[in-house]
Amino acid sequence: MPIISMFYGIIIRMYALDLQHHNTPHIHARYAEDEASISNVDGDVLAGSLPRKQLRLVQAWIELRRDELMADWLLAAGGQPPYKITPL
């Protein structure tokens, strides 16, 4: 799963071959021992959890980078590696 961004100790990854949430464009965010799948569309947590502060940072980043995230999702869904996205 390629890393597309990192900020404030949060690692953001994306891949489209996630069988559990395959139809929903999403990212995987990891902070320390916590990990969550988060929707690119509305920032909702699909699975897992992050500490509140880190979740809010990720949701703000999604809001600012939504167009880039959706473009990356289309690349990943087509079997191509996603591009890096500017951190928060």
> Quick check: is 18 in a domain?
yes
Question: What domain range includes position 40?
Answer: 3-77
- Do 56 and 64 form a contact (C-beta atoms < 8 A)? no
> Quick check: is 38 in a domain?
yes
> Quick check: is 87 in a domain?
no
> Quick check: is 85 in a domain?
no
DSSP β-ladder status, 26-31 and 3-7:
unpaired
> Quick check: is 32 in a domain?
yes
Q: In the numeric block, which tokens belong to residue 13?
A: 């990854």
pLDDT in tens, 15-52: 866 545 567 899 999 999 999 999 999 999 999 999 99
> Quick check: is 86 in a domain?
no
Q: What is the pLDDT of residue 76?
A: 87
The structural domain count of the chain equals 1
